Amino acid sequence: MMDNRPIGFLDSGVGGLTVARELMRQLPHEEIVYIGDSARAPYGPRPAEQIREYTWQLVHFLLTKDVKMIVFACNTATAVAWEEVKEALDIPVLGVILPGASAAIKATKSGKVGVLGTSMTIQSDIYRQKIQALSPETDVSSLACPKFAPLVESNSYQSSLAKKVVYETLGGLKGKVDTLVLGCTHYPLLRPIIQNVMGQEVKLIDSGAECARDISVLLNYFEINRSRTAEKTGHKFYTTASPAAFRDIAESWLDRTIDVERVTL
């Protein structure tokens, strides 16, 4: 069996592009419909009830695009609403947290894992819970990095301000963990700076890349891969803010030209 419909991706903004990029690399035949809510990003500092409401709006938008699967390419939305959306829909819904948690357990040698995330993700304590449910001995140090996602949304993730902010935020974690989960899909854009501050010996876990591997497993399991001979319609990107600003970040990160349209939810 095959299913040629696209895979839906949602995020508060451009962060989910880190997951989309991995999917394009790992499964080049699949097509993506992406919605980023940049007009209301960051989600991290918002109350859970509001994140839940916004996430449902993104889900309903993707359902109008006839997607065969939805990927929560946002840790914050996963922490707040993934369980209930997954229960409510009859298509597979994948989050980024479980794949990241398992990868961290696999990678750590010292048993000391750090987790970076938005205020909501860290406050939810979900990474610690998922990691320790699988591996109770693993020590988890969690750190909220509320300044990181805005640096990425404003396309200043390579700036000297970004270096300063990352250095000041992560200074205290250096030397304490051998594995660090980038528990927000915006953070892989800051990866070179984070790696530099933490030291080359620290293993960084990109929850998005881990998630792309799980998408592949689910497509196989449900036998809903896209046929290699299906006609290409192209990936489609939607943003709630400026398409030009979205395109700037997306085209450089994905290294291709893309089709972006503005939507109101």
Active site residues per annotation: 74, 184
Stretch near ligand DGL under the rule CB under 6 A, chosen from 169-177, 183-191, 218-226, 244-252: 183-191
User: Binding to ligand DGL by residue 82, rule CB under 6 A?
Assistant: no
User: Binding to ligand DGL by residue 81, rule CB under 6 A?
Assistant: no
The answer to whether residues 203 and 178 touch, using CB atoms and an 8 Å cutoff, is yes
Cross-sheet strand order for the sheet of 69-72 = 93-94, 69-72, 7-11, 32-36, 236-239, 260-262
Within 133-172, the residues that bind ligand DGL by CB under 6 A are 149
Within 219-258, the residues that bind ligand DGL by CB under 6 A are none
User: Binding to ligand DGL by residue 118, rule CB under 6 A?
Assistant: yes
Indicate which single residue of 12, 138, 225, 239 sits in contact with ligand DGL (rule: CB under 6 A): 12
Residue with Cβ nearer ligand DGL (33 or 77)? 77
The answer to whether residues 153 and 38 touch, using CB atoms and an 8 Å cutoff, is yes
The answer to whether residues 129 and 192 touch, using CB atoms and an 8 Å cutoff, is no
C-alpha–C-alpha distance, residues 93 and 205, integer Å: 21
Among 10, 17, 183, CA closest to 82:
10
Residues annotated within the binding site for substrate are 11-12, 43-44, 75-76, 185-186
Q: Which spans of this chain sit near ligand DGL (rule: CB under 6 A)?
A: 11-13, 15, 41-44, 74-76, 118, 121, 149, 184-186
